Structure 1
C-alpha cells in the first residue's frame, strides 16, 4: 500500500512540474523622476500568463545591485492581477537614495550611468498550487540624471 501511495505522489509531483507556469522578463529600466532625496527608476516587467483565468499577484520584491553592492531593495504589495491568456506589463518603481549613488563614483564618473543587476521576484497565487514565485533577473545600464533633469521636472 505504501508503494501505491508513493507512486501516486510521484505522479502528482511530475504532473505539477510539467504544468505551464507564468513567465516574466524585464523589458526596460528608465529614469522616472528626480527629487531632492532620491532618484526613482521604473522597471517594466512583462509577465505572460498561460492560463485562461487571471492570477492575483501577492507582491513584487526587488533587489537592485551595482558592482555586487545592493543599492536598492523594496516590495510592491498587492500590485493587481495577471490577465488570463496574455501578457501583463507591470511597472516596478525603484527608489535609489542620492547617498547610495555617491558610493558608486568610479562607475558613474566613467560613463555617467550605473551598471546594474536587477532581481525581481513576482509572488503569485496559483490555483491548486498556492503561492508561486516567478524570478526575473536582468543586467544592463541606467543613465543618471543630469543637472538639467532637476530643473525640467
Structure 2
C-alpha cells in the first residue's frame, strides 16, 4: 500500500519555497501578526445634549486565512478623566491577505460628563484621548492585542441666547403691516457659529402669530454677538387690544419660539430657542 502523508493546517509538512515565502512571517513562523491604525475620526451628529462620533480603524491581515476579531475595547479620557469606556464583542472577521475598516461608534452625553467632572464647562472645546485595543485570535500565535491611540477634539456646545432687540415697522396699516425684528444672538461658545437658517414663531400681543424662515448666512464669532434682521408681515386688526398699544407707541408683549440651523467647525447643529414676555417698543424705521 502506498504510504499517505498527513499534512495538518499548521504546516507540519514542509512547504514549498514559494509557499514558505508567502506564509513566512517576520517572526520566522508561518503566520504574521496583523497590524492596525486609526485613520479616521468623524462627528456624525452634534447637538446640545450629545455628540455621536465614529472612529475608523484599518486592520490588515497578511495571513492566508481569515482571522476573527474577538473584542474591541475602547476608552475615552479628557485631561486624565475617564469619560466613557466599553467593549464591542464579536466584531467580525478580517479577510485573508486583506484589509478591513472597523467602525467604532461612540456616544458622548454632555450631561453625564458635566455631572461627573465640574471642570468641564459648556461652550468649551474638549480635548480627548481615544484608546482602542483590538483582540484578535491568530493561529499558532494565539490571542494578539493591538493597542491604538488618537487625540481628538469635540465641543461641549452652549445654547446661544436669542433675544428681541427691537421692532421696526416699514409700513403700518390695520389690514397688513410689514416690520423687521432685530434679534440679538449671543454666542457663548469658544468657537464660531455660522447661522444659515432661522425658523421662528413670533407672537405680538396675545393671539396673533407670525411665522417665517430666514435663510441668510451670518457669522457670529466665538463669545461674540450678532444681530439678525428678520422681516415679518402681520394683520394688526387681528391683534385685538394690542393694536391700540402699537398705535399709541406703547410697549407690546411678545413671545417667540424657533430654531437656528448653524454651522460649527465640528459640523452642523439645530439649536432651539424661546423667549417670552417683554414690552418692546415698535419703532418706525428711520428715513420713512
TM-score range relative to shorter protein: 0.7 to 0.9
Following the alignment from structure 2 to structure 1, what is the Cα–Cα distance between the partners of residues 270 and 140?
49
Q: Which runs of 5 or more residues in structure 2 are unaligned? A: 1-26, 160-260, 262-268, 272-288
RMSD between aligned residues: 2.8
Question: Does structure 1 residue 22 correspond to structure 2 residue 34?
Answer: yes
For residue 59 of structure 1, what is the aligned residue in structure 2? Answer: 71
Deviation at 1:150, TM superposition (A): 4.2
For residue 11 of structure 1, what is the aligned residue in structure 2? Answer: none
Aligned pair in 2 of structure 1 residues 41, 146: CA closer, same or farther (>3 Å)?
farther
Where does 1:65-144 land on structure 2 (aligned, <5 Å)? 65-102=77-114, 103=117, 105=120, 109=123, 112-143=124-155
Secondary structure at the residue paired with 1:105?
A: coil
Aligned pair in 2 of structure 1 residues 146, 22: CA closer, same or farther (>3 Å)?
farther
Following the alignment from structure 1 to structure 2, what is the Cα–Cα distance between the partners of residues 114 and 59?
28
* Alignment TM-score, normalising by the size of structure 2: 0.41
Q: 1:42 aligns with which of 19, 43, 54?
A: 54
Deviation at 1:146, TM superposition (A): 7.6
Following the alignment from structure 1 to structure 2, what is the Cα–Cα distance between the partners of residues 117 and 124?
23
Aligned pair in 2 of structure 1 residues 21, 143: CA closer, same or farther (>3 Å)?
farther
Aligned pair in 2 of structure 1 residues 139, 77: CA closer, same or farther (>3 Å)?
same
Is the CA contact (8 Å cut-off) linking 1:53 and 1:85 kept in structure 2?
Answer: yes
Structure with the bigger percentage of helix: 1
Is the CA contact (8 Å cut-off) linking 1:58 and 1:78 kept in structure 2?
Answer: yes
Aligned pair in 2 of structure 1 residues 36, 113: CA closer, same or farther (>3 Å)?
closer
Deviation at 1:31, TM superposition (A): 1.5
Once the two structures are superposed, what CA deviation does each residue of 1:69-105 show, in whole Å capped at 9, x if it has no partner? 1111011111101122121100001122222443353
Task: Give the structure with higher Rg (CA).
Answer: 2
Higher RCO (CA-CA < 8 Å; seq separation 6+): 1
